[in-house]
Structure 1
């Protein structure tokens, strides 16, 4: 898996909340006020290093817009409720139980988008349909081997 140069090998990339402003604009606009964190009904937003981040280990983002509606500084924006929340997509690594011959479909069963494909008889590594994946993170916390990660499409192995 290739990672952007800003993310050291073995490190988890920081996942901004849904509808975060692009690039450094989010970091400049987010004041760390925790309004979005407090508003999140799924409790998947947390404050790290003074900025709001999405933590898929805590569960799934349902894209309810509560964080956007609560963000007074304007670091999260989707004024017409029409834009995609982010470009993150799930990726399965070699720790997948199916890749090791163990029957497992935890990620597929948790995926609200039906974007995870499991080979027949649940033998073989899970595959992600990137076109169907919303990046919600539902699959991340249920994986018993932590083999699923969210990342930007340019980081996703083909």
Structure 2
């Protein structure tokens, strides 16, 4: 019998509040809990990552750090892992995310900047003229893959990609 890791208890003892941002884990995970239950923290996925955005996070579990670059969805982390943490159906979306923009965005502060749009291969980010003189960013969540290319190029670190509540999402058992 395996005993799962209760992250809320672990975070309590580390002094983290429940409202703090949770780590973005690897793409195509069956669930966060499957990672905690089955990951041996061998770092094979970290070594296999072609863009080196996978880092050791809390408790030694791998997590994505988009400030270092973008995910190319090469699936090398999946191939390198010998444990039962990834979905069997890699044709599904790699993760269920939401991309948000903080108020520190230069465009929201009337300063011309479109570096995020230039880095977005899926063209999920566009800029529209509204009542202001500087075009304002719009993110099409349906087109956003969550690759993180926009995060590392943002001069204000104003773009955040966060995992949606996975308690209602099941990815291939």
Shift of the 117–85 alpha-carbon distance from structure 1 to 2, 3 Å rule, reads same
Aligned alpha-carbon RMSD (Å) = 2.1
Counterpart of 1:57 in 2: which secondary structure? Answer: helix
Does the Cα contact within 8 Å between 1:96 and 1:125 map onto a contact in 2? Answer: no
Does the Cα contact within 8 Å between 2:51 and 2:69 map onto a contact in 1? Answer: yes
Q: Distance in 2 between matches of 1:72 and 1:126?
A: 41
Q: List runs of 5+ in structure 1 lacking aligned partners.
A: none
Q: Which residue of structure 2 lines up, in the alignment, with residue 27 of structure 1?
A: 36
Q: Distance in 1 between matches of 2:117 and 2:164?
A: 20
Task: Give the structure-1-normalised TM-score.
Answer: 0.85
Task: For residues 26-54 of structure 1, give each alpha carbon's deviation from its aligned partner in whole angstroms, at most 9, with x where no partner exists.
Answer: 21111111111100101111111210111
State how 1:102-121 maps to structure 2 within 5 Å: 102-120=111-129
Alpha-carbon offset, residue 152 of structure 1: 3.0
Out of 11, 25, 41, the position equivalent to 1:16 is 25
Count of aligned positions: 148
- Larger radius of gyration, structure 1 or 2? 2
Alpha-carbon offset, residue 21 of structure 1: 2.1
Q: Which residue of structure 2 lines up, in the alignment, with residue 140 of structure 1?
A: 151
Matched, 1:75 2:92: no
Q: Which residue of structure 1 lines up, in the alignment, with residue 76 of structure 2?
A: 66
Matched, 1:36 2:40: no
Shift of the 64–37 alpha-carbon distance from structure 1 to 2, 3 Å rule, reads same
* More off after superposition, 17-26 vs 127-136: 17-26
Shift of the 133–75 alpha-carbon distance from structure 1 to 2, 3 Å rule, reads same
Alpha-carbon offset, residue 81 of structure 1: 2.9
Task: Give the structure-2-normalised TM-score.
Answer: 0.78
